[in-house]
Amino acid sequence: MRRIVPLFILLLPLAALWMRPSAAVDQRLVVYVRESGSHLLREAVLRSDIQPSAVFDADTGTLVLREGPVPGGQVLAVFEVSNLGLLLESRLIGLTPPAALGITKPLVLLADGKPHEVDSAARLLEGDVEIMSVEGQVVVLKYGGRLLELGPGEAFVEVYVLDEEGRRVVTSAADIEAALDAGLAITRLAIENLGMVEVVSR
């Protein structure tokens, strides 16, 4: 009897591992697209019901999905929109080039169970982002009439300001700070190629 009890205790962790739901792991070329703005909401909203659809762990190089299976396609895009740090949109887009991400579609924020329309006029993007092709781990994008090539770890970042002269690109921290002080609408777009990473869905 003394031998049975210790053996039973040792087997408990193994049984727990067997009963624990396993996570599905996939390898995918991941492109992260982040849009952030300063005037995207017409009214003050303190909190958002939106949760990140995925979280990238830079230490392990792993993208962990919040829920659901990994979308199909050659490229997995993560698209997020925020307003002054408040998350408005987060979704996964599986696609095979050539294909557009559809990031210019109208957005509605859910906060406290109520819809809040996002001001499309304050989104200063130069159009949609299209993934034209993939060559190895190099992604060829089309944005604002330009072709962009991003290798693993490379990013494209652009900041726009809307003033009396219209929309313009700003490149210095001083110009961005001046626009914020003047209360002007600002949009920042960042597109990053994470390369091939492990994608974990639970």
* Model pLDDT for residues 123-141, shown as the tens digit of each residue: 999 999 999 999 999 999 9
Q: Taking the CB of residue 130, how many other CB atoms lie within 10 A of it?
A: 17
The structural domains of the chain, with segments of one domain joined by +, span 22-201
Provide the phi-psi class of 127: left if phi over 0, else alpha when psi is between -120 and 50, else beta.
left
Kind of pairing between the strands at 114-117 and 99-100:
unpaired
Which residue reads 């962790």 in tokens? 13
In tens, the pLDDT along 77-122 reads: 999 999 999 999 999 999 999 999 999 999 999 888 889 889 999 9
DSSP-assigned beta bridge partners for residue 114:
111
Residues 41 and 184: their CA atoms lie apart, in Å, by 14
Q: Is the pLDDT of residue 6 over 80?
A: no
Distance CA 142, CA 140 (A): 7
* Cis peptide upstream of residue 98 (ω within 30 degrees of 0): yes
Nearest CA among 34, 28, 48, 20 for reference residue 189: 34
Of the chain, the percentage scoring pLDDT greater than 90 comes to 72
